[in-house]
Amino acid sequence: MLVSDLDETLLNNDGTINPLNVEAIKAAVAQGFKFVPNTGRSFLSVQDLLKTLGLADQADQYVISYNGGVIVENQGNRILDVSGMSLPLAEQIFQAGLVNDAVDVHIYTVDRLFVYNPSAADEEYMAARGVNYEVMADRNLSFLKDEAAITKVIFEHLDAKVQAQIKAAVLKAVGANQVEATFSSSRYVEFNPAGVDKGRATLTLGAKLGIKPEEIMAIGDNSNDLSMIKAAGLGISVANGIPAVKEAAQVVTARTNNQGAVAEVLERYVLKGEEA
């Protein structure tokens, strides 16, 4: 099984997918190999991508979404596992992270996305990736009281210094032991409940499928990918990965995300059968 991050890993910078990746994924899946998107996004927002890969609505094919918050079987989008946070914790995170008026916030439930104060840059980024959302009118989260689960809260700002301020403010407010804090796409600061991450979900899905950790590869580019890269038998960074990801990985691809890095991995370790 290969679990793969999407943005800046599987996908090109413009949100499209390299034809080399499509071809290699289809070839690997035809051999019985599992290709599992492992993303911070909602599983609903990746349906067009799954169609391109021939994985949409397929039994025994899977997506890990919300940084490990939800595991879904593609056929009927059947929910297998949910790890959410309480409304009071989400409210604390939300209020603490609004360090200035230019920050926008995403609140994810299992099947909906609410955005407060969306920036023009964020609107453009989400539109390019087919992300649907509802705009929040104010800073009150009480309307979420009947939701089954809040899966994660993330903040968007393009300035790395502001991202660091958001992380520090939230951890000070809620306690570092209450959340998993990561960064993604050079624009988001992401908060999941403590113990919920891409690595845990990777091992959970592997156990459900009878796939051992040493039989799993994981590929990513940013800090929210570190847990799965460390959990997998073979952790891989794309050539454009951040330094921490490259350092944690056992393999760094020669190709960037824009050049078909995932195809490079599948060609090397699955389709040609090279030993890791």
pLDDT reported for residue 148: 84
Same fold: 2-82+197-271 with 87-193: no
pLDDT band at residue 276, thresholds of 50, 70 and 90? low
Alpha-carbon span 98 to 121, nearest angstrom: 17
Q: Where are the domains of the chain?
A: 2-82+197-271, 87-193
Per-residue pLDDT at 109 exceeds 80: yes
**Mean pLDDT value across residues 202-216:** 98
- pLDDT tens-digit map of 85-100: 999 999 999 999 999 9
Angle between helices 87-97 and 160-174 (to 10 degrees): 140
Structure tokens at 194: 């403590």
Q: State how beta strands 2-4 and 35-37 pair.
A: parallel
For residue 274, the tally of other CB atoms under 10 A from its CB is: 9
Q: How many residues does the chain have?
A: 276
**Mean pLDDT value across residues 124-138:** 93
Per-residue pLDDT at 275 exceeds 90: no
Alpha-carbon span 209 to 206, nearest angstrom: 5
In the predicted model, what is the mean pLDDT of the chain?
96
CATH level 3 topology of 2-82+197-271: Rossmann fold (3.40.50)
- pLDDT tens-digit map of 14-57: 999 999 999 999 999 999 999 999 999 999 999 999 999 999 99
Per-residue pLDDT at 178 exceeds 80: yes
Per-residue pLDDT at 274 exceeds 80: no
What class does CATH assign to 87-193? Answer: alpha beta
